[in-house]
Amino acid sequence: MANVVLKNVWKKFGQVVAVKDFNLEIQDGEFVVLVGPSGCGKTTTLRMVAGLEDITQGEIYIGERLVNDVPPKDRDIAMVFQNYALYPHMNVFDNMAFGLKMRKVPKPEIKRRVEEVAKLLGIEHLLHRKPKELSGGQRQRVALGRAIVREPKVFLMDEPLSNLDAKLRVQMRAELTRLQQRLGVTTIYVTHDQVEAMTMGHRIVVMKDGVIQQIDTPMGLYERPANMFVAGFIGSPPMNFLPVVVEQDQGTLKVKGDGFSFPLPQGIEKKLKAPGKELILGLRPEDITVDQALREKKPEWVFTVKAEVVEPLGAEGLLYFSVGQQSVTARLPGASLPRVGDTVPLVFNLDRAHFFEKESGKAVA
């Protein structure tokens, strides 16, 4: 096992800067997820750690060893790809054993390790089948098994669940998390799916245009997004953003926007600095509620809306409405969902509001 350190790492493909000054220290045994939209540089970063891509500038260490010039096979890592990359002509046993054979591990030990890992993954009955005789989920387990038998210091996984159907993906997500906990192997996992990132990672690295936007725990990102990009990317449905101006109104500090005005919670003045400032108010759909107690406690935060679209999802549902020209989403308990056209008094829970600078999108700290 090992820690992994990336120091001022850059990757350029000609004119394209794929990764800009990437800095990250991953602890031994940690599960770190790189997440971001397509083209943000996640795969390139992972491939540089794997040694499949040269580093334009910077340093990468695996277990205290500088690996910039170490070929992939000597880095003591194992990769799991989106397409599994199984050998079609080999059965499951041989697919899993391949890396060990190449390393000239003695046959009895190969057999022991493959059987042990196959058992761990619940595929011991499939060892004689060819990949084409397996389901997608089984193939995924074989690809994982092949990585695990090598007992690497680091697992590198690139969207390993994205070829599975939605239900299997959720199941494999939990399985992978349990497996990583059990094996305790340092893992770097790439995905564009924020739910996968939130549910699996000890820490998450949010990337955009080759630049790290924020590194934090899942709840850290959710509670304290550093900017509007992270705020909008983490959480589903995404955070609502409303342009506002902060104003003093008869001794009370208020946020005023298109069609609304709310007094702000006590103690927020210092955070928002000078009144008169144009800001973006961020409020998550789950912080716009029908909560009776809050409605009574904070009548000044109640805002009556007209239900435009209602999406019941079972235990909860989504309500879409307009505030001025802006479309806003609230997440409500299923039993509290109105019908389309109904007017509904909602509470905007400003105790949970986020504020961002209008120009830069940075969180107002």
Contacts of ligand ATP in 39-58 (CB under 6 A): 39-44
When asked if residue 13 is in the footprint of ligand ATP (CB under 6 A), the reply is yes
Comparing CB distances to ligand ATP, the nearer of 39 and 263 is 39
CA proximity to 202, closest of 181, 175, 226, 223? 181
Residues 227-256 contacting ligand ATP, CB under 6 A? none
Which among 38-46, 160-168, 306-314, 350-358 is the span making contact with ligand ATP, rule CB under 6 A?
A: 38-46
Of 146 and 192, which CB lies nearer to ligand ATP in the complex structure? 192
Q: How far apart are CA 201 and CA 45, in angstroms?
A: 17
Q: Does 87 bind ligand ATP (CB under 6 A)?
A: no
328 closest CA partner among 344, 313, 307, 345: 307
Question: Which tokens in the block code for residue 134?
Answer: 């397996």
In the bound state with ligand ATP, the residue whose beta carbon lies nearer, of 41 and 282, is 41
- Strands 186-191 and 31-35 come out as parallel
Q: Two tokens at 289?
A: 């509620």
Binding-site member from 38, 250, 325, 360 for ligand ATP (CB under 6 A): 38
Q: Enumerate residues 103-142 that contact ligand ATP by CB under 6 A.
A: none
Count of residues near ligand ATP by CB under 6 A: 12
User: How many other β-carbons are positioned within 10 Å of the β-carbon of residue 104?
Assistant: 7
Nearest to 67 by CA among 196, 174, 156: 156
Closest CB to ligand ATP among 12 and 256? 12
Tell me the pairing of strands 31-35 and 203-208.
parallel
Minimum distance of ligand ATP from residue 193's CB (angstroms): 10
Phi and psi based region of residue 198 (left: phi greater than 0; alpha: psi -120 to 50; beta: remaining):
alpha
Tell me the per-residue interface mask from 14 to 33 with ligand ATP, x by CB under 6 A, - otherwise: --x-x---------------
Contact call for residue 309 and ligand ATP (CB under 6 A): no
Could you count the other beta carbons within 10 Å of the beta carbon of residue 150?
A: 21
Instruction: Please name which of 27, 10, 28, 29 lies closest in space to residue 19, comparing C-alpha atoms.
Output: 10
Coil, strand or helix: which one is 245?
strand
Binding mask of the shown chain, residues 188 to 217, with x at each position contacting ligand ATP by CB under 6 A: ----x-------------------------
Interface residues with ligand ATP (CB under 6 A)? 13, 16, 18, 36, 38-44, 192
